[in-house]
Amino acid sequence: MSTELNNGLYEPSPEACEEKMRLAVAYQVATADYSKAVSELVAKIGVTLKSEYDKLHQAVEQERQRSVEARDRLYHHTTTHGCSFQAKRASLT
Ligand SMILES: [Zn+2]
């Protein structure tokens, strides 16, 4: 039965890639931080000083940048490592 699983093609298992999991979690955390910063900013609209608002706005921009970078790192890893779900689907056809 094992010959069926090993017909000369190495197929990386997407679920088993630890680096991908790590990057996916980092992306999730960055996204959560970003939406938290956004709701803090929204809550302060009209009730805070402009200088305070600008500071919050800057923080939101930083979090947004972080989540974009985390997403790019995840995307870059899965495409170069071949452990994305798309890659698995393509290798099965
Ligand atoms: Zn990987």
Determine the distance separating the centroid of ligand 1 and the alpha carbon of 10, expressed in angstroms: 14
pLDDT category of residue 84 using cuts at 50, 70 and 90: confident
For residue 9, pLDDT over 80 is answered with no
Residue 2: its pLDDT value, please? Answer: 41
pLDDT in tens, 11-50: 555 457 999 999 999 999 999 999 999 999 999 988 999 9
State the residue range of the domain holding 84: 20-92
pLDDT of res. 15: 59
The C-alpha atoms of residue 57 and residue 64 are separated, in whole angstroms, by 10
**17 CA to centre of ligand 1 in angstroms:** 5
Q: Which residue has the tokens 């809550």?
A: 43
- How many domains does the structure of the chain reveal? 1
Whether 5 is covered by a domain: the verdict is no
pTM, two decimals, is: 0.70
**Residue 8 located in a structural domain:** no
CA of 62 to the centre of ligand 1 (A): 27
Largest CA distance in the chain: 70
Q: How far is the CA of 14 from the centre of ligand 1 (A)?
A: 7
Domain-located, residue 57 = yes
* φ/ψ of residue 34, rounded to 5: -65, -50
57 contact partners, CB below 8 Å, separation of at least 6: 41
Distance 23 CA to ligand 1 centre (A): 9
Q: What local confidence, expressed as pLDDT, does residue 44 receive? A: 93
Which helix (DSSP H) or strand (DSSP E) does residue 31 occupy?
A: helix 18-44
